[in-house]
Amino acid sequence: MENENNKGMPLLGDDFPKMTVQTTHGVIELPKHFSGKWFVLFSHPADFTPVCTTEFHAFQTLYDKFRALNCELIGLSVDQVFAHIKWEEWIKENLDVQIEFPVIADTGAVASAMGLIHPGKGTNTVRAVFIVDEKGKIRIILYYPQELGRNMDEILRAVKAMQIADKNSVAMPANWPDNKLIGDEVIIPPATDVKTSKERLEKAKTGEFACYDWWLCHKKL
């Protein structure tokens, strides 16, 4: 793996580090390989482990829905590529699911650069998720312990919500699109000056949007 970014573990808003990686689909360059697309890079502790197997099955089951959002998937663990291939064959033979997305065969360099190795867990990677936008910016970072499998529906929801927020310059409420207060509506960014705060409540009277107060206004898309 060739890493051109030596700033340490990436943060939200950073460019995804440039790297060349060996995968089950051959050698690829990140983030260039997914240029113009969103992608989810997710690490798993190891091949041929029970929780990871359920996660791969779940990711593949939702792969078409990710692709419908112009979003790709790519896995990673500190395992050799032949182990990935044999594991994928096992999943196909025993669970009747063909893994279609690439999986990085990491030597440990990628995991170290991305902050995926827990000091108390040997060389096993944590369950991390990096959601990267079409410009190569890291938008969401999630970390899970080895004992807890991820919720892929939530990761899919996060990608969709971020895309809608970007496109419409809005914010997304808790549990969107099933928020207990405003349903599937979106939040208008709070006013940042007195004039706009007063205008918000006046506009709400016209039905353009609704407000609980000037700093909490919402609308349908």
Catalytic residue set? 52
DSSP one-letter string for 124-169: PBPEEEEEE-TTSBEEEEEEE-TTS---HHHHHHHHHHHHHHHHHT
Handedness of CA 8, 113, 18, 34 (dihedral sign): negative
Helix axes 50-61, 81-95, angle to 10 degrees: 70
Place of tokens 């573990």: 9
158 Cβ contact partners less than 8 Å away, ≥ 6 residues apart: 131, 140
Question: 102: exposed, middle or buried (C-beta count within 10 Å: 0-12, 13-18, 19+)?
Answer: buried
Rounded CA-CA distance 36/32 in Å is: 9
